[in-house]
Structure 1
Amino acid sequence: MSFLNNEEIKINCPSCEAKRANDKQNCEYCKLRWASEKKENCPKCHQKWNVHYQFCPTCDLPPWSSGNDKIDQIIKESQLKFDNKSVIGLLEWILYEEFENINSIAKGGFGSISKAIWRSGSAHFDEEKRKFIRSGPKPVALKKLSESSDANYDIIQEIQSVILFRCNVFIAKIYGISRDPVTGDYILVFYYYENGTLYNRITQEEKMSFTLLQHDLKELATGLEILHERGYVHRDLHSGNILCAPALYITDFGNCKKVAEIT
């Protein structure tokens, strides 16, 4: 049929959303991209890279090390699965020197919580410029894990659990991991939830409406459902481990375990 010509058939390219004609080869940007997407390894260092964004954790980020091979591996594996649709951005190793205005919020057997300003801020991938862009200074919560300098099994388990659920709704969002240069203790760097914990909300408000309580319970149930569907149990859920912003977010995965590991 004569009316089916390239000028008249215009659809969006499934990869870059640019308008193209009926032949996908007309999208020059994606023609190059498809050629490289077939490669699972970075053409520079030949290690695995993020195929979708053509991003290599080794070549495209400044050199870094957590001081622990297992933690390095956890971070890099997360970066290989990085999805720009995530509101939290790239998980990364963050130098302690990046934090300023550090103020203590709480202390406990687990360690301590502080509020700080992260000078550079989180990284999101600019698909047009093909590079990571920093958000700029932003408040963060620093959870320092006490006696974690040796990164024992329990510490690794908590880090793995937090990262596993980092992009899920109603689970506290983690930006990355850092380390106290004095004590050597590892630090989990979280989004700062300015409304505090559910415990604060309950104790500070004289009266809570039934509608608000119903809404809170629904969010908690959704967050727990995510854990349970993946075969995990929190094992330490209470109002002090639930953050408000104003939605509810489950945090503190120090005791979180797979159901199969619980005896």
Structure 2
Amino acid sequence: MGKENFPVVHGFRLMNEIGGGGFSVVYRAVNFEEKITAACKVVSLTRETTPGERESLEKEIKVQSGLKHPNVLEFMHGLIVSADDDNKEEGFYPAVYMVLELAGGGDLFDKIEPEKGVETDVAHHYFRQLALGLEYLHQNGVCHRDLKPENILLSSAGVLKISDFGLCGVFALVGPNGKRRTRLLSERCGSYPYMAPELIGTEPYEAEPIDIWGIGVILYALLSGNTPWEKADRTSSEYTRYLAGEIFNLEPWCHFERDALGLITGMLTPDPAERMTMQDIFHHPWILRENELTQRGAVCVAEALTQNLRSTGALDIATPPSLAPLARTDRDGDQIMLTAMAYSQFTQTLMLFSQTAAGQRYTPGWTRFYANVPPSELQDLVLTALKARGVKHKILAESGTGSAVRQRIRIGGYDTRRLMYRGLIEFEAFDAPSVGVRGGTFCVMTREKGNPISWRQIWKNLIISPSVEPVVLRKPERA
């Protein structure tokens, strides 16, 4: 989407793009009168949009608008502008507009080191929140059906939020007599590494067990920094070894604590009738264990969450080298953005605010770096690295104005689990005279689609490539 004529959605004006891509783009949305910042998901509507696609979007709005829980991303407002002739005279871009709570902490899994994961206390802290959110969904008859890392977000206070209800299904309703009526689901949907075996089949399935399988894969990913297999069927050698019990002597399975392993395998039981229930999960010893981290506050959680990334030096690359903090700006509502919603002890500890020539920029991901060469030169070096690794790419038109002009490359492909990824690499001018950097570049890699852990691996491969590594700025080592 380019510079479109967007409507004001219940007092919220759409500002800059902060995520998504293709037919679904997420914008920062500001209600200046109420001094509230949110996110607005914009899903394009065209004459080619099918009735089924339209119905799915309307279902997403209806379901999510009725959900209110600390661990579920809140739906605030919705608006539909049709693509028919009656709306052309208003000139608004035809789309479904969904104003959502802003997840100021970004993706949970963006902060996780590939192939390492997080420490047990961090995994426990966030998995328990995930389980509480899922329990609430199931109590309200909603099956998510697409639980995966890219749909697990963090608020600016560091609270886990389940997001994206585009594939959800309603499996239970409460009748006039107060009796709960349930039904089987039949639609095949989701992403293969997170899909339960019964979803890959053809028979109708019970709703709750497939979500429990999904959070089982997520717990594995939290503790290991990867997914256990490409697909839960016998075409996957890893899954076949899992069924045969041959995988438990291999990494990372052999390093899991006994209770953690028991919980993971209980949720990843192939037979849905034998799989753990939510009640089983909340009574499991690993869940019931004491966790001091949860009591120590947001700063301690943020530090523990990123401990493995810090130990690998990723933080020294993602943050600027010994720069004096810049003043916050209020251009286009940025002051509201920084203070009211995203600027918190948690996000400060995560260093989600980067310095650029245009001022302080909110960058909720750590897939970023600074270089000591100009944007055009860095773009050429990055293109060399992408070509060397066979990454598909396309140079896009520049965006922004003045000191905030950004050169852009879109990249895409498939990760090691054969999941599609897509995203932007942006290059913006950057100067730091205090440390001898003039004519440098701030580079941000923004994921639009795909696994956040895989996207971090792509970032890692780029910054260690022979063409890019020599120009990457790192925080000086302390004497």
TM-score, normalised with respect to structure 1: 0.52
Q: Does residue 208 in structure 1 map to residue 118 in structure 2?
A: yes
Per-residue displacement from partner, 1:105-130 (whole Å, max 9, x unpaired)? 1224661111121223xxxxxxxxxx
Q: Does residue 164 in structure 1 map to residue 66 in structure 2?
A: yes
Instruction: Give the structure 1 partner of residue 185 of structure 2.
Output: 262
Give the gaps of 5 or more residues in structure 1: 1-93, 121-135
Give the secondary-structure state (helix, strand or coil) at the position aligned to 1:252. coil
Instruction: Give the structure 2 partner of residue 133 of structure 1.
Output: none
Runs of 4+ in structure 1 over 6 Å off: 148-151
Give the secondary-structure state (helix, strand or coil) at the position aligned to 1:255. coil
1:199 Cα shift?
2.4
Question: Counterpart amino acid of 1:215?
Answer: H
Q: 1:254 to 1:189 in 2, by over 3 A?
A: same
Alpha-carbon distance between aligned partners in 1 of 2:18 and 2:39, rounded to the nearest angstrom: 9
Report how many residues are paired: 154
Q: 1:212 to 1:232 in 2, by over 3 A?
A: same
Instruction: Give the structure 2 partner of residue 189 of structure 1.
Output: 99
1:182 Cα shift?
2.4
Bigger shift: residues 151-160 or 140-149? 140-149
Alpha-carbon distance between aligned partners in 1 of 2:140 and 2:66, rounded to the nearest angstrom: 10
In the TM superposition, 1:27-176 aligns within 5 A as 95-96=8-9, 98-100=11-13, 102-108=15-21, 111-120=24-33, 136-147=34-45, 152-165=54-67, 167-176=68-77
Q: 1:154 to 1:214 in 2, by over 3 A?
A: same
Alpha-carbon distance between aligned partners in 2 of 1:173 and 1:144, rounded to the nearest angstrom: 16
Alpha-carbon distance between aligned partners in 1 of 2:131 and 2:18, rounded to the nearest angstrom: 27
1:97 Cα shift?
8.2
Alignment counterpart, residue 249 of structure 1, candidates 148, 161, 185: 161
C-alpha contact 1:117 1:140 (8 A) present in aligned 2: yes
Give the secondary-structure state (helix, strand or coil) at the position aligned to 2:112. helix
Alpha-carbon distance between aligned partners in 2 of 1:170 and 1:97, rounded to the nearest angstrom: 24
Instruction: Give the structure 2 partner of residue 232 of structure 1.
Output: 142
Per-residue displacement from partner, 1:63-120 (whole Å, max 9, x unpaired)? xxxxxxxxxxxxxxxxxxxxxxxxxxxxxxx933833461111224661111121223
Alpha-carbon distance between aligned partners in 2 of 1:108 and 1:234, rounded to the nearest angstrom: 22
C-alpha contact 2:14 2:40 (8 A) present in aligned 1: no
Instruction: Give the structure 2 partner of residue 65 of structure 1.
Output: none
Give the gaps of 5 or more residues in structure 2: 1-6, 82-90, 172-182, 187-479
1:157 Cα shift?
0.6
Alpha-carbon distance between aligned partners in 2 of 1:196 and 1:212, rounded to the nearest angstrom: 16
Alpha-carbon distance between aligned partners in 1 of 2:13 and 2:77, rounded to the nearest angstrom: 16
1:140 Cα shift?
0.7
Bigger shift: residues 146-155 or 229-238? 146-155
- Cα RMSD after superposing both structures: 2.9
1:253 Cα shift?
0.3
C-alpha contact 2:44 2:94 (8 A) present in aligned 1: no
Give the secondary-structure state (helix, strand or coil) at the position aligned to 2:106. coil
**Percent of pairs with identical residues:** 25
Alpha-carbon distance between aligned partners in 2 of 1:189 and 1:203, rounded to the nearest angstrom: 31
Question: Counterpart amino acid of 1:257?
Answer: G
Alpha-carbon distance between aligned partners in 2 of 1:257 and 1:219, rounded to the nearest angstrom: 21
1:217 Cα shift?
0.4
Alpha-carbon distance between aligned partners in 1 of 2:61 and 2:113, rounded to the nearest angstrom: 30
Q: 1:95 to 1:212 in 2, by over 3 A?
A: same
Q: 1:154 to 1:261 in 2, by over 3 A?
A: farther
Which of the pair is proportionally richer in helix?
Answer: 2
Q: 1:159 to 1:255 in 2, by over 3 A?
A: same
Structure with greater contact order relative to length (CA < 8 Å, sep ≥ 6):
2
Alpha-carbon distance between aligned partners in 2 of 1:158 and 1:101, rounded to the nearest angstrom: 21
TM-score, normalised with respect to structure 2: 0.29
1:258 Cα shift?
1.6
Question: Counterpart amino acid of 2:59?
Answer: Q
Give the secondary-structure state (helix, strand or coil) at the position aligned to 1:175. strand
C-alpha contact 1:95 1:178 (8 A) present in aligned 2: no
Per-residue displacement from partner, 1:160-216 (whole Å, max 9, x unpaired)? 111121x22211012211356622212111121211112222259x86331111010
Alpha-carbon distance between aligned partners in 2 of 1:111 and 1:155, rounded to the nearest angstrom: 11
Q: 1:147 to 1:191 in 2, by over 3 A?
A: same
